Amino acid sequence: MAEQHWKENPKGFWAVSATPLLWTLLFFLVPMSFVWLYSFGSNVGLTEIEISGTLDNYKRATEWLYVSIFLKSLAVAALVTVICLVVGFPVAMALTFASEKWRPWLLLGIMLPFWTNLLIRTYALMMLLGTQGYANKTLGWLWDGASWLKVFFGMQPLPTWEPVQLLYNNFAVVLGLVYVHLPFMVLPLYSALDRLDKSLIEASLDLGAGHLRTLMKVVMPLAMPGVIAGVMITLIPALGAYLTPDLMGGTDSQMIANVIERQFKRANDWPFGAALSFVLIYAMFILIALQSLRKPRRGEAK
């Protein structure tokens, strides 16, 4: 069917779009504009906010304390995205080249976590990583084994195993975020790789290229749209992550969303929380704008 301009069939257009438009207006744009207005206000009572047009909240948001937390959030999100990309690419490749029989099951394995509540998934991971968790038990078992081996060969045994602190630090936050966001990276990568004509890979091999060169010169450039899409939908939610740093992080691993939450709840400073929120939103806008400015190269799967 040829593409139709909405003006050619306005009744049909409005019939289909009125509900989602109204929905977005009522439940997204209206509340967001309130928050936006609050960001220019100040607290005058316990529950009263006066919208005075002041820029004090934004001025405060640019204090180093908050900027540093913001930059740290960005660094954590970027690290999570890179790890997701490095781990996700081989997974997406494996999905693409899996046999017809296996692929649906592998895809199910990727999708399954989506059907489980984030809170439950996070607690499950925490149980695994705790000082009494399986990760530590396995490490301890390996440690004991190594110690036993040393004794076996007539050497001094290793000192007694001390459980490693795997939770409540930055490592735990990154691990948790990678765990949560990996499917977001794998799916767009898979969809880009799946569209790739497999004979391009064979042609590269046929012309003498090894697998690594084929990956770098043919597969990667052509999968770029999938990489960009995967990076965007991993980076943005990771930047605004709240639950994972809250539950798995330590005192020094709070991210910007945790700070915002504190303003709205414990500090009861809605105007400042609103200002911080909008700084975060503007940052995301910039990221999205940068991505759309990027000129798509020829030949990429659209």
Partner 1 sequence: MTAQKSPIIEIRNVSKRFGKVTAVDNVSLDILAGEFFVLLGPSGCGKTTLLRMIAGFEMPTEGQILIDGQDMAHVPPNRRPVNMVFQSYAVFPHMSVADNVAYGLKIAGVGRSEREERVREALELVKLGGFEDRMPDQMSGGQRQRVALARSLVMRPKVLLLDEPLSALDAKLRAQMQFELADLQDQVGITFVTVTHDQDEALSMACRIAVMNKGDVAQLATPSDLYEYPANRFVADFVGSVNLFEGKLTLDEPDKAAVDCPGVGKIYLNHGVTGPHGADVWVALRPEKIYLHVPGAGKAVQAAGQDAPEGHNFARGRITGMSYLGDITLFDITLDDGATIRVSRPNLSRHDQEDFEWNDRVSMHWRADSPVVLLS
Binding site for partner 1 (CB under 8 A): 197, 199-200, 202-210, 213, 217-218, 221-222, 297-300
Residue closer to partner 1 by CB (options 189, 279) is: 189
279-287 contacts at long range (C-beta below 8 A, 24 or more positions apart): 279/58, 279/61, 279/70, 280/70, 280/239, 280/240, 280/256, 283/70, 283/74, 283/239, 284/236, 284/239, 284/240, 287/232, 287/235, 287/236
**Smallest distance from the beta carbon of 192 to partner 1, in angstroms?**
13
**Smallest distance from the beta carbon of 203 to partner 1, in angstroms?**
4
Residue closer to partner 1 by CB (options 89, 179) is: 89
CA distances from 298 to 190, 225, 230, 276, 301 (A): 20, 11, 20, 39, 9
**Smallest distance from the beta carbon of 94 to partner 1, in angstroms?**
19
Residue closer to partner 1 by CB (options 154, 299) is: 299
Residue closer to partner 1 by CB (options 99, 292) is: 99
Q: Where are the beta strands (DSSP E) in the chain?
A: 41-43, 49-51
**Using CA of residue 192, residue 216, residue 84, residue 225, what is the dihedral sign?**
negative
Residue closer to partner 1 by CB (options 199, 251) is: 199
**Smallest distance from the beta carbon of 52 to partner 1, in angstroms?**
55
CA–CA dist 124, 40 (Å, integer)? 41
**Smallest distance from the beta carbon of 98 to partner 1, in angstroms?**
16
CA–CA dist 100, 201 (Å, integer)? 19
CA–CA dist 149, 173 (Å, integer)? 35
Residue closer to partner 1 by CB (options 60, 195) is: 195
**Smallest distance from the beta carbon of 195 to partner 1, in angstroms?**
12
Q: Are 63 and 45 in contact (CB under 8 A)?
A: no
**Smallest distance from the beta carbon of 26 to partner 1, in angstroms?**
44
Q: Tokens standing for 42? A: 């100040």
Residue closer to partner 1 by CB (options 53, 208) is: 208
- Rounded to 5 degrees, φ, ψ at 39 are -65, -15
CA–CA dist 127, 245 (Å, integer)? 16
